[in-house]
Amino acid sequence: MAIEIARGSAPLSAGLSVAGSRAFVHSIGHGVNEYWMSLALAQADLAANAGEVPVGCVIVDAEGRAVGVAHNARETSADPTAHAEVIAIREAAGKLLGWRLEGATAYVTLEPCAMCAGALVLARVARVVYGCADPKSGAIDTMFGVGRDARLNHRFDVVSGVLADECALRLRRFFGTLRGAKLPTTTE
């Protein structure tokens, strides 16, 4: 799946230039970060419908194309590494025919854990935009500083809090629904 947005001379946000989709961007009352995050939120909804912790991720390449779109699938795939970010990274690398996602931005609804933040470093993404913080496992701002630590051979820019309420609402609703059945031990 590759969503290509029209590009032109009217940059709405650093690193992305969106002219053709300006009307749409205005119609949702936000900017480019919120546009892509809303697609990541749609992925989170798909995860919840499948009984998975609702986390979604969209990776947008340097040309403004969505090259990785995924949601958390740990339970359905019985794979502890099947977080939204890792699946999206693998999809993007497959599309771009290489492991370097240079210039790419990852939009993810929840602050990435150590595995995912580490994978984003290894993939050389330029920017990570996330929704709500993860007080239990977040590895960029909450713990560790993965992606920010000056000792790493690659770091990325970070934007946090984009559509944070909507992102957190999905998680609260999911765990609220689950509470009667089982108590989660972690957010993802």
Binding footprint of a second copy on the chain (CB under 8 A): 74-75, 78-83, 86, 89-90, 93-94, 97-101, 113-119, 121-124, 136-137, 139, 143-146, 149, 151-153, 185-186
C-alpha distances (whole Å) from 131 to each of 105, 138, 157 are 14, 12, 14
Active-site annotation holds for 188: no
Q: Considering 4, 34, 75, 85, which one is annotated as catalytic?
A: 85
Indicate the SS3 state at residue 172. helix
Q: How far is the CB of 26 from a second copy (least distance, A)?
A: 35
Q: How far is the CB of 65 from a second copy (least distance, A)?
A: 18
| DSSP E strands, 26-135 | 56-60, 65-71, 105-110, 127-132
Judged by CB, which is closer to a second copy: 62, or 115?
115
Nearest 5°: phi and psi at 132? -100, 155
Judged by CB, which is closer to a second copy: 9, or 153?
153
Q: How far is the CB of 20 from a second copy (least distance, A)?
A: 31
- Rounded to whole angstroms, the Cα distance separating 73 from 56 reads 10
Return the active site residues. Answer: 85
